[in-house]
Structure 1
Amino acid sequence: MSENSLDIRIVSISATERAVSMRLPFQFGDTVVTETAEAFVAVKIETRGKIFNGLSAQLMVPRWFDKRPDQTNADTVNTLRQSILQACKSAKGLSGPTAHICTAINTGVLEKMPKVTPALAAGFGPALVEMALIDAVCQAAECNFFDGAHQDIFGLTERAGPGLSERMISQGLSSIRPKWTMQIRHTVGADAPLYPADAEPLVNDDGPVALQDVMDRTGISAFKIKLKGNVDNDLKRLMAIAPLLEHCKNLAVTLDANEQYSADAFPVFLKGFQSTSTLAKMRDATLFIEQPFAREIALETEISNDTGTLPLIIDESDDHDGSFAQAWSLGWRGTSVKSCKSVFRALLNFCRVQHFKSEGHEAFLSGEDLTCQPGLCLQQDTLMGAAVGIVHTERNGHHFAGGMQGASNKEISQITQRHSDLYDASGARPALRIDSGHIKFESLNEPGFGSSRSLDVSNDTQILNK
């Protein structure tokens, strides 16, 4: 156990939500999201005789955690609510190092959720509680998240096991340093408009809609393009996007199949992608392809020469702490980090990557976005990504969800003024301040995790089973 680890006791915990209507329909995988809710967990801890508060936020995105065909968008969001409630129940009265508490919460939730619940969905509530505890513990230690992780005030060395020793964890965490800028990788939705003439005008919204407008206003040159699992249609979509990227300097591209490809169809797509001359620049700039296969088979699928012509990473399959190591042994070369899947898991996978690299192997993490809208959700997720060395992170919540929905005007004003390096409040709604494709966020350099001080969730809707 780390000598810097803090013992804490959970005094109280609660969960609330705010309704969110998407400013733009967001299509990925087999669903279109037009509305959902953002969940908040508030926790009060006691350590060293003093009380500290912590807060976390995540959008409850339909049909990403749970893609069972018999579940509607609303059904899958209700499953996430159930996971949050079970996590809060499991957390009450627990004491010890933060990582130890979070292990107990996760175990308790997995035992109480219906057995048919996908592990990714069951883990959503524990991840939210974990983030709130991180916020409170960093405030108790009077340090920012980078320093808290560097010093391991959470007791993460407890998670050591086969293939991940205490020494590997300590060495990895000790290499974490503050980083206050990051490149943005813009999400091109499956049916998102490419040119202004293709876009429907929005009411009371002066933000960009079409891809061309996004590029002109922000200088973004890194893109994540959604695929739908149909070879011909996906190649046509890429060919339609390619002219817009032709003159990008320092172009970076990733492709995301959201589990939509079969093992037979994916090599056919790769062959077409490799051989289509009009996709040459895009292909040369493509860094990896994300989760082409369903989670049910991905961790049983060995990556062959046919499927591994570009590095593949897991995303939806990353539903437990050992998933990346399992995938890596099969030829997958990376995994995504998302705060909704566990910040501690991201830190542990960072330690794995550092170890793999030290032995001369290829391994990497990617920063992907679960529709983090501006505010605490985006701030916490950004700090996590920066801590584990992400160079460019996907950001789509600010584009599809919009700006701080559900927050009061007072809260929006406080956040945008306190973090004017990160947000632009000059338009009809608060927006990310993106300059030459990058964001800056040194204003988050304060005790805690993501600067939760401006938020008041006391009047929000209490999360209930629906």
Structure 2
Amino acid sequence: MADAPLFSLRAIELYERPVKLRMPFRFGVVTLTEAPQTFVRARIELPDGRGAWGAAAELMAPKWFDKNLALSNEDNFAQLRRVLELARSAYLSDAAPASAFGAFARHHEAHARAAAGEGFNPLLASYGPALVDRAVLDALCRALGVSFYEAMRNNLAGMDGGHPSFAGFDFGGFLRGLLPARSIHARHTVGLVDAITRADQPERVGDGLPETLEEVQRAYGHRYFKLKVGGNVRADVERLQAIAAVLDRATEPYQASLDGNEQYESAEGVLELVRAVQADAKLQRLWQSIAFIEQPIARKLALQVDLRATDLGRPVVIDESDGEIDSFVQARAHGYAGVSSKTCKGFYKSILNAARCAAWNREEGSARYFLSAEDLTTQAGLAVQQDLALVNLLGIRHVERNGHHYVDGMKALPRAEQQAFLHAHPDLYEDSHGAVRLRIRGGEIAIGSLACQGFASGALPDFSAMRAIGPRS
């Protein structure tokens, strides 16, 4: 294994630009119609003088990192800008050389304390380093002329377990054993206000792209789905019946997850929904197709509830409760079997959690523990590419992917930027309906081109077309 290179971090720049949705999306307590997308640029310098810029991108999702109803969407956006500024200050506070993972580890605790001092919860605080770390690793990959996959499998980031969970665990061997594929299934999310059939949609967007679940299935051929429930058992069962009426038309098997979006306060509440679904004749095939249940219990209670005393019939995954590096360790002790991977929570956390799954499964002699891939907000370009590359590296064969459904591809971006991404990734994108957009065929996304130099992107966005956040370094 090559030694992890050390480097100095010379600059971090923050940008944003607006994103408008082509149709509203409701998750949890918010119905989203627009939100900014954040971009981070970072420049590193190796001891021999070689340097490079790297970048990362992420949507600012309101009411996900902090679900305080007293805060407006604009308040949430301001919070996210602030944690980015805090991360920028932390990472630039020490110019001493470090590895990529070493830079994360060096500043993790100080950044978390600074964020907590301003009233930000751990999940919200993680947004800043999550972007900076990816931009830094992108810069390192570009400086060394290697891909993200090569960098991680050869541990050029300098990762180790650093936790009792990994005592006696061959972390380097785990990384070397990761084998990315050339395609991945897109798991389509059905939101709480999404139209299921044409009859549910009196007003049309009318842009030629699919709008209802029926049309999505016809256009993209998905075989994996994510179904959101709202906490009202009767209403949830009725909606699931409508969804099943569409999905059950497929002759091939399909698989789905149930996303509780923190709408329950107890395991008993979730059990009530599960029993209602199991008892409904119209939902038998759908229930047999459910792979797992995602974060049904509110984050303030989730890690206090012991699921081992309640048979929910399917494994349960934490998502919003995964705010800290050790959250999955706590969740395991309470009967949770899985944790979501999201680049907005930190890609190092995902890799550490994947290693935990490998160690725990070996310890128990089963395949009980797993990562799911969740993120419907990633936009075409850096955000979706880096998230796809991460979950692909970890061997996850399907990923929640819905940013392409709610946003009209790259239509709002400069045409030259669109063409640059299409040229660099002709398997991933297509030019249709007046814009470059994600290409999905038979429910799958081709991702072979992500094995390029840098963190999964052969093109970079047009930073001159963005608004800077705070001063440039």
With the shorter chain as reference, the TM-score category is: over 0.9
Q: Which residue of 2 aligns with 1:76?
A: 76
Tell me if 1:313 matches 2:317: yes
Instruction: Please identify, of 172-181 and 230-239, the stretch whose mean Cα deviation from structure 2 is larger.
Output: 172-181
Q: Which residue of 2 aligns with 1:453?
A: 459
Q: Paired residue for 2:431, among 407, 425, 447?
A: 425
**d(CA) in 2 for partners of 1:222 and 1:305?**
29
**d(CA) in 2 for partners of 1:166 and 1:462?**
46
Deviations 1:110-167 (A, max 9, x none): 222254311111110110001101111112232211111111111111x411112373
Q: Which residue of 2 aligns with 1:137?
A: 140
Report if the CA contact (8 A) 2:306-2:335 is conserved.
Answer: yes
Tell me if 1:256 matches 2:262: no
Tell me if 1:322 matches 2:326: yes
Q: Which residue of 1 aligns with 2:164?
A: 162
Q: Which residue of 2 aligns with 1:331?
A: 335
Report if the CA contact (8 A) 2:37-2:57 is conserved.
Answer: yes
**d(CA) in 1 for partners of 2:67 and 2:411?**
26
Report if the CA contact (8 A) 1:58-1:377 is conserved.
Answer: yes
Instruction: Please identify, of 360-369 and 170-179, the stretch whose mean Cα deviation from structure 2 is larger.
Output: 170-179
Tell me if 1:67 matches 2:71: no
Alpha-carbon shift at residue 411 of structure 1 (Å): 0.2
- SS of residue in 2 equivalent to 1:104: helix
Tell me if 1:342 matches 2:346: yes
Q: Which residue of 2 aligns with 1:98?
A: 100
Instruction: Please identify, of 138-147 and 225-234, the stretch whose mean Cα deviation from structure 2 is larger.
Output: 138-147
**d(CA) in 2 for partners of 1:464 and 1:276?**
55
**d(CA) in 2 for partners of 1:387 and 1:45?**
24
Q: Which residue of 2 aligns with 1:237?
A: 239
**d(CA) in 2 for partners of 1:207 and 1:317?**
35
**d(CA) in 2 for partners of 1:202 and 1:160?**
50
**d(CA) in 1 for partners of 2:23 and 2:296?**
25
Report if the CA contact (8 A) 2:116-2:122 is conserved.
Answer: no
**d(CA) in 1 for partners of 2:260 and 2:106?**
33
Q: Percent identity?
A: 33
Instruction: Please identify, of 416-425 and 390-399, the stretch whose mean Cα deviation from structure 2 is larger.
Output: 416-425
Q: Which residue of 2 aligns with 1:185?
A: 187
Tell me if 1:149 matches 2:152: yes
Question: Aligned letter for 1:156?
Answer: M
Alpha-carbon shift at residue 33 of structure 1 (Å): 0.7
Alpha-carbon shift at residue 186 of structure 1 (Å): 0.2
- Which 4+ runs in 1 deviate beyond 3 A? 165-168
Question: Aligned letter for 2:84?
Answer: I
Report if the CA contact (8 A) 1:372-1:397 is conserved.
Answer: yes
**d(CA) in 1 for partners of 2:382 and 2:408?**
14
> Number of aligned pairs?
462
The 1:178/1:143 distance shift into structure 2, 3 A limit, reads farther
Instruction: Please identify, of 301-310 and 280-289, the stretch whose mean Cα deviation from structure 2 is larger.
Output: 301-310
Q: Which residue of 1 aligns with 2:20?
A: 21
Question: RMSD in angstroms over aligned alpha carbons?
Answer: 1.7
**d(CA) in 2 for partners of 1:105 and 1:25?**
37
**d(CA) in 2 for partners of 1:261 and 1:171?**
40
Q: Which residue of 1 aligns with 2:85?
A: 85
Report if the CA contact (8 A) 1:373-1:402 is conserved.
Answer: no
Question: Aligned letter for 2:326?
Answer: G
Report if the CA contact (8 A) 2:424-2:458 is conserved.
Answer: no
Q: Which residue of 1 aligns with 2:413?
A: 407
- SS of residue in 2 equivalent to 1:96: coil
Deviations 1:296-347 (A, max 9, x none): 1111211135353211000011111111121112110100100011111111
Question: Aligned letter for 2:13?
Answer: S
Report if the CA contact (8 A) 1:379-1:450 is conserved.
Answer: yes
Q: Which residue of 2 aligns with 1:283?
A: 287
Report if the CA contact (8 A) 1:376-1:452 is conserved.
Answer: no
**d(CA) in 2 for partners of 1:89 and 1:367?**
30
**d(CA) in 1 for partners of 2:355 and 2:105?**
18
Report if the CA contact (8 A) 1:146-1:387 is conserved.
Answer: yes
Q: Which residue of 1 aligns with 2:403?
A: 397
Report if the CA contact (8 A) 1:20-1:405 is conserved.
Answer: no
Q: Which residue of 1 aligns with 2:210?
A: 208
Instruction: Please identify, of 273-282 and 403-412, the stretch whose mean Cα deviation from structure 2 is larger.
Output: 403-412
Q: Which residue of 2 aligns with 1:218?
A: 220
**d(CA) in 1 for partners of 2:125 and 2:353?**
20
Tell me if 1:376 matches 2:391: no
**d(CA) in 1 for partners of 2:449 and 2:51?**
25
Question: Aligned letter for 2:409?
Answer: G
Question: Aligned letter for 1:349?
Answer: N
**d(CA) in 1 for partners of 2:123 and 2:376?**
13
Q: Which residue of 1 aligns with 2:40?
A: 41
**d(CA) in 2 for partners of 1:61 and 1:214?**
23
Deviations 1:435-456 (A, max 9, x none): 1110101122211102153322
Deviations 1:71-120 (A, max 9, x none): 12221121111011111111114431111111233323222225431111
Alpha-carbon shift at residue 430 of structure 1 (Å): 2.4
Report if the CA contact (8 A) 2:258-2:293 is conserved.
Answer: yes
Q: Which residue of 2 aligns with 1:9?
A: 8
Q: Paired residue for 1:195, among 189, 194, 197?
A: 197
Q: Gaps (5+ residues) in structure 2?
A: none
Tell me if 1:269 matches 2:273: yes
Question: Aligned letter for 1:334?
Answer: G
The 1:441/1:193 distance shift into structure 2, 3 A limit, reads same
Q: Paired residue for 2:130, among 127, 152, 156?
A: 127
Q: TM-score, normalised by structure 2?
A: 0.94
The 1:129/1:341 distance shift into structure 2, 3 A limit, reads same
**d(CA) in 1 for partners of 2:341 and 2:170?**
19
The 1:168/1:29 distance shift into structure 2, 3 A limit, reads farther
Alpha-carbon shift at residue 3 of structure 1 (Å): 4.9
- SS of residue in 1 equivalent to 2:435: coil
**d(CA) in 2 for partners of 1:405 and 1:74?**
24
**d(CA) in 1 for partners of 2:33 and 2:307?**
35
The 1:452/1:58 distance shift into structure 2, 3 A limit, reads farther
Q: TM-score, normalised by structure 1?
A: 0.95
